[in-house]
Structure 1
Amino acid sequence: MPGESFRFIHASDFHLETPLGDLDQLPPNLRDAMATAPRDAAAAVFEAALADNIDFLVLSGDLLHPVAAGPHGMSLLLDNFEKLNDAGTPVYWAAGIADDAKQWPEAVPLPPNVTLFPRDRVLSVPYERAGRVVCRIVGRSSEGRASLHVPGFQTEATDEFTVGVGYGTADAGALASGRMDYWALGGPHNHTDFDGGASAGAFAPGSTQGRCLDETGPHGYLVVDVDADQTARVRRVEADRFRYAHVSIDAAEIRAVGSLRNLLGQKITSLANENGGRHLLIAWDVTLTDPEMLSMVGDPIELLRHLRRDHGNGNPAAWTTRLTVRPPRNYPKSWRDEDTILGDFLRASEKFRKFAAGVPVESVSNAGTNDSGAAAGKPAATARLGGLRLMPYTEEHSDLSSTAATLLGELPAGDRDATLDEATLLGAQLLRGDKPSWGRKS
């Protein structure tokens, strides 16, 4: 027997307690908009729920931490829950980790249209229209885990379309075993499709507003339309006010344009067109292949200033949060073969790099050592063991702080290659009499 068609909105991860991140400074013209962006994106969900003639709203966790978000964040939820209550629209909420149901103040009751699913058991709620059950919503709040325990959602089989509401992720096979028609999940901050997890789909819509460079691209919520034959159509709706972008630039692109500044300007124009009038927060990752390209880049610090001045003050704005220019690793063979200090320097740098890449100790000769085995005042064994130690070069600076001494004493493995790249470029420029124009991260 055919059922009835219905529509609902699925949203999650408002994180009203968390501001936008990955910013070394707040652009003065964007401060107010940045401060309200998470609230504006969450409010867009409720506005759509009131305007789009939906049957119910599904919220799958991490809406806010009540203490960290404070009364300002809680009032946004409560005010909009009340509006939906006045409109006769149910809300089904499975709490996650940030919005753990135990943290919701007992003195702040939820409106009667809001079902906050319990943590210790699954709850099956029928959604009815004119006395007829249209579908069932089966939910359970998180017990503090980032993964979803699918067996905890087992209920009796039913002919009605079933929506499973929970927090956390699971593989598609595990979700399929839960026998839900649609899984409404929360937890991931980026939109996630668990393909094959349910007949009508298994999704985590992601945060309504991205917060950092790990959360690039569109953010928003989902609108799910189910027809009388229980066929579902899922549509993504963008709600973010700011959009993060992480763009990699290779040497071929720079050569084609002839100037990194001009190339980035072209990229910003394209990004602005692609992202529909939203403010952009952009990180650039530029990779150079040879030192001759430095003239096409110029001073990265000055370039960053130009990008922020030329593109960061518009409406919408394209603000560069970070400009990383990775120096070349290959230098002309003629430089390395010179019987000069420059040649010695580049050969020593290459030997250190080989060690970092895992070349056996025996094959790395005493780079930068004198005949007695000392490397700039340190035993030769230190160089061979790969400890790129900088302290010996600062012995005349007795006023170094203990923090600085610790940092120079032993570089973390993850920073070793980048530091060696920077040092090699700076040394090569100085030894060739060039004006240093280097700044890896600005």
Structure 2
Amino acid sequence: MGVRFLHAADFHLGSQLAAGRGESTDHDETLESAVYTAVSRLFDLAISERVDFVIVAGDLYDTDSRSVRANAFLEEQFARLAEREIPAYVCYGNHDPVADAPTYVELPETVYEFDHEAPEEFCFPNADAPEARIWGQSYRDRHESRSMYRRFTPADDRIPNVGVLHTGLNPDGRRYVPVGRRDLAGKDDIHYWALGHVHDARVFDDEQPIAYPGVPQGRQITEPGPGGALLVELDAAGSCEMEFVPTSPVVWRSVAVDVGDESISSIPDIERHIERSVDDLAATTDRFDGTSVSVRDPEWEVDGYVCRWTLTGNGPVHETLGADPEAVYELTRRLRRTLAGRRPFVWTEAVRDETGPPIPAIDDLRGTDRVIDEFLALADEFDDAARDRFRDEVGMLWQPVDDHEEGRPDELALTDDRLDELVDRARERVLGELARRRAD
């Protein structure tokens, strides 16, 4: 016997996109309503796919004050499920803990809210003829230190058992439900762990899937790519099929643009060069490489992209941008004006200048100076094999931070590609500085 359900989390209703808008645009309404649009699409998906039930693993609201609009919106969305006899199982997380939380509108009876004092079991469709059990527990307050999972105790494993937790998977933490991935994997009587709290969609294929659907709509540059939810087919024999379905109307992109060419020297030159990069913004996701999760081709149309352009390279444009403190601001203004009219629209969140002054080609520098030759020899030793050894030695220190609440707002995890990029950029900067000082 199996069930089919939608696993979602981290709606953060009541929050806005941090898109850096200082002036009114034609896309204000799209940007301001993006979070609500994405969540509405989740409910559309549950209805069109005729799922057995929906799980929401915490942080439905962005703050524990729970806005009236958000509460009324959820009542309407859950009522749509109720009309089709689709129950929903909801736990609350650190942004919307249960203690002292105001309730402006009551949710339908088909919404089963997990208690915050002790773990609770709900049976689908009912306790008399259960086809699945759903275990969970809500947060009592914002910093929940109880690990909770130990008390998820299904009677047997003859039907699918699902565990619902809002956790950062940090067993050493003192908040956000401290528990380790190994701890959850050791619960053999739970067939699927439906998690929330981490905003990046990810799935761990252990003895049973341990999954985060991520946010349905990214709200800042640290939540890039399309957001969505997981469509899950599960049975008690251990068979599980998972599909990530995108829902976000607005997609965040962080784009590095090399403007080091000699032909690029003015702000209009940079603008034209960036415009040529826009065609590469297609909303795809590679988050599930190496897992059994498939990614559905987006059936919805992306309304727009919010981009941070990082300018790189060594060339004359470095002096152009550095000569006037308003140069980057002017470039940002021009990009917002020219790209916002595209379909889908492209809104510029920010422009970051990481360019460097022009430097001679490496081959032209060899043999010209002893210090430069020594540096090039040292840099040449850090080849691909050396980088692989470095990764092996550093190990887990460079793994992505699991809990966004513990990281800095502008912190990005160091991937293999980003490590290569940083090494290459460091080499160029040191070489450029050496060449400049030798020339002086």
Range into which the TM-score falls when normalised by the shorter chain: 0.5 to 0.7
Q: Give the alignment partner of residue 305 of structure 2, picking from 274, 280, 291.
A: 280
| Alpha-carbon distance in 2 for matches of 1:272, 1:320 | 16
- TM-score w.r.t. the length of structure 2 is 0.67
Aligned to 1:175: 184
| Alpha-carbon distance in 1 for matches of 2:8, 2:346 | 27
Aligned to 1:405: none
Matches within 5 A, 1:190-205: 190-196=200-206, 198-199=207-208, 201-205=209-213
Matches within 5 A, 1:275-354: 277-291=302-316, 294=319, 299-328=327-356
| Alpha-carbon distance in 1 for matches of 2:9, 2:147 | 18
Aligned to 2:71: 74
Q: 1:255 to 1:123 in 2, by over 3 A?
A: farther
Gaps of 5+ in 2: 170-179, 285-297, 361-428
Confirm or deny: 8 A CA contact 1:8 1:54 kept in the other structure: yes
Q: Give the alignment partner of residue 214 of structure 1, picking from 204, 209, 222.
A: 222
State the Cα deviation string for residues 91-136 of structure 1 (Å, max 9, x = none). 1001102221224435743322111101121112221379532111
| Alpha-carbon distance in 2 for matches of 1:130, 1:94 | 20
Q: CA deviation at 1:292?
A: 7.0
| Alpha-carbon distance in 1 for matches of 2:145, 2:259 | 41
Confirm or deny: 8 A CA contact 1:251 1:288 kept in the other structure: yes
Confirm or deny: 8 A CA contact 2:217 2:227 kept in the other structure: yes
State the Cα deviation string for residues 351-384 of structure 1 (Å, max 9, x = none). xxxxxxxxxxxxxxxxxxxxxxxxxxxxxxxxxx
State the Cα deviation string for residues 399-432 of structure 1 (Å, max 9, x = none). xxxxxxxxxxxxxxxxxxxxxx9xxx9xx9xxx9
State the Cα deviation string for residues 327-370 of structure 1 (Å, max 9, x = none). 426778xxxxxxxxxxxxxxxxxxxxxxxxxxxxxxxxxxxxxx
Gaps of 5+ in 1: 333-420, 433-442
Aligned to 1:339: none
- SS of match in other structure, 2:37: helix
Aligned to 1:62: 59
| Alpha-carbon distance in 2 for matches of 1:213, 1:331 | 31
Q: CA deviation at 1:234?
A: 0.9
Q: CA deviation at 1:77?
A: 0.7
Partner AA of 1:167 in structure 2: H
Confirm or deny: 8 A CA contact 1:150 1:175 kept in the other structure: no
Q: CA deviation at 1:285?
A: 1.1
- SS of match in other structure, 2:125: strand
Q: 1:313 to 1:120 in 2, by over 3 A?
A: same
Confirm or deny: 8 A CA contact 2:259 2:317 kept in the other structure: no
Q: 1:268 to 1:146 in 2, by over 3 A?
A: farther
Q: Give the alignment partner of residue 122 of structure 2, picking from 120, 125, 149.
A: 125
Q: 1:251 to 1:34 in 2, by over 3 A?
A: closer
Q: 1:66 to 1:172 in 2, by over 3 A?
A: closer
Q: CA deviation at 1:40?
A: 0.8
> Higher mean Cα deviation, 77-86 or 205-214?
77-86
| Alpha-carbon distance in 2 for matches of 1:228, 1:174 | 20
- TM-score w.r.t. the length of structure 1 is 0.67
Partner AA of 2:83 in structure 1: D
Q: CA deviation at 1:11?
A: 0.7
Q: 1:191 to 1:114 in 2, by over 3 A?
A: same
Matches within 5 A, 1:79-228: 79-105=76-102, 108-128=105-125, 132-143=129-140, 144-145=142-143, 149-159=147-157, 160-170=159-169, 171-179=180-188, 180-196=190-206, 198-199=207-208, 201-227=209-235
Confirm or deny: 8 A CA contact 2:71 2:104 kept in the other structure: no
Partner AA of 2:123 in structure 1: P
Instruction: Indicate the RMSD between aligned Cα atoms, in angstroms.
Output: 3.4
Q: CA deviation at 1:215?
A: 0.6
Q: Give the alignment partner of residue 40 of structure 1, picking from 31, 37, 41.
A: 37
| Alpha-carbon distance in 2 for matches of 1:181, 1:19 | 35
Aligned to 1:347: none
| Alpha-carbon distance in 2 for matches of 1:104, 1:296 | 50
Partner AA of 2:162 in structure 1: V
Q: CA deviation at 1:250?
A: 3.8
Q: 1:47 to 1:277 in 2, by over 3 A?
A: closer
> Higher mean Cα deviation, 177-186 or 300-309?
300-309
Confirm or deny: 8 A CA contact 2:259 2:270 kept in the other structure: no
Q: 1:130 to 1:87 in 2, by over 3 A?
A: farther
| Alpha-carbon distance in 2 for matches of 1:236, 1:255 | 43
- SS of match in other structure, 1:324: strand
Q: CA deviation at 1:169?
A: 2.1
Q: CA deviation at 1:23?
A: 0.9
> Higher mean Cα deviation, 235-244 or 82-91?
82-91
